[in-house]
Structure 1
Amino acid sequence: MNSRSIFFPAIALIAVISNAAPAGAELLTLKALSTPIALSIAQTAYESCVHQGYNVSVSVVGLEGQPLVSLRGDGTSPHTIENSLRKAYTSRTFRIPSGEFAQRVKDNPTSGQVHLANIVAAQGALPIKTGDTVIGAVGVSGAPGGEKDEACAKAAIDKVADQLK
């Protein structure tokens, strides 16, 4: 038997084995925000702030931080839509309220995370969860002080809480 008759079948066997899925491998089952829920969150956050007399912009991001809904409120400053999106993205990325991230940066100003694209160290966004899994975030910008932005975000998440189970 020559070396070629052993070599080629061995290569074929290696190729088949390397392409096989590991034992127990399966597709992931993920939950994601639907458009109607994202719209409800954005609208509720917006209305909550407007009823308090604040002109705000609101952004909702999905599972991978992608924008799902953005609302630029009447009378808002031009930066608020970008800021609401960056707050939401920050909250989704780190799976925590954006205000908690802002505190981390304040406590450790040399943290390189603040220099990542689309990250902002500002209060006003909350993660959207189903159970313990973060599936998105809502960010609000325009109310004085980030705690008022965050309160509007919380009102929105509370409104759809039953749908997030």
Structure 2
Amino acid sequence: MKMTSLIVFTALCLPALAHAQAPQMEKNISTAMAQAIIAGAVEECAKTSFRVSVVVVDKAGQLAAALRGDGTAPHTVEFARMKAYTARTRNQTSLEFAAATAAGDAAALRQIPGVIAIGGGVPIKAGTETIGAVGVSGAPGGDKDETCAKAGIAKVAAALN
């Protein structure tokens, strides 16, 4: 009886073990996509003479590409990175995160290292899956940074569907 149970248990576990060894396949940001998003964001902000820095993070929230714009303040690259990281980790714009954490218990989420509650970060989604995010900093207001970030994503929208 014990031997039969062991054989049945082993037979049930072997397929699971084989499947566990398969490589993980996931969608992520490519370098070319990150560069196109940055170019689109900078182009949009330039229409209104906003000098910005733009950062794209990948699915893991790690830097994929960054551009410090001409004439931007020294802090804009780090702010753009934090905005992108916030959008990626929260799966919402950093402006939505700011509103959602303005008061109450949710305000404690603002203490997570690397997140920032200011507009300009937008998640990059392939369908419903967040595969990265873009952060823009340097325009006069997070809402304007966010507009530029969304314009950057729009440049690659066809590839995200």
Q: TM-score range by the shorter chain?
A: 0.7 to 0.9
- What is the SS of the residue equivalent to 1:148? helix
Cα distance in 1 for residues equivalent to 2:152 and 2:41: 5
Task: Specify which of 17, 22, 34 is matched with residue 16 of structure 2.
Answer: 22
Work out whether 1:156 is the aligned partner of 2:152.
Answer: yes
Aligned to 1:114: 110
The gaps in structure 1 that reach 5 residues or longer are 1-12
Quick one: which amino acid aligns to residue 22 of structure 1? A
Q: CA deviation at 1:29?
A: 2.5
Q: Does 1:68 align with 2:67?
A: no
CA pair 110-29 structure 1, distance change in 2 beyond 3 A: closer
Per-residue deviation, 1:139: 0.4
Partner of 2:4: none
Q: Using the TM superposition, name which of 76-85 and 111-120 deviates more.
A: 111-120
Q: What is the TM-score with the length of structure 1 in the denominator? A: 0.83
**AA at the equivalent of 1:93:** T
Between structure 1 and structure 2, the one with the greater Rg is 1
RMSD between aligned residues? 2.5
* Unaligned runs of at least 5 residues, structure 2: 1-6
1:16-165 to 2 correspondence within 5 Å?
20=14, 22=16, 25=19, 27=22, 28-108=24-104, 111-165=107-161
Q: Percent identity?
A: 43
Q: State TM-score, norm by structure 2.
A: 0.85
Measured after TM superposition, the shift of residue 20 of structure 1 is 4.9
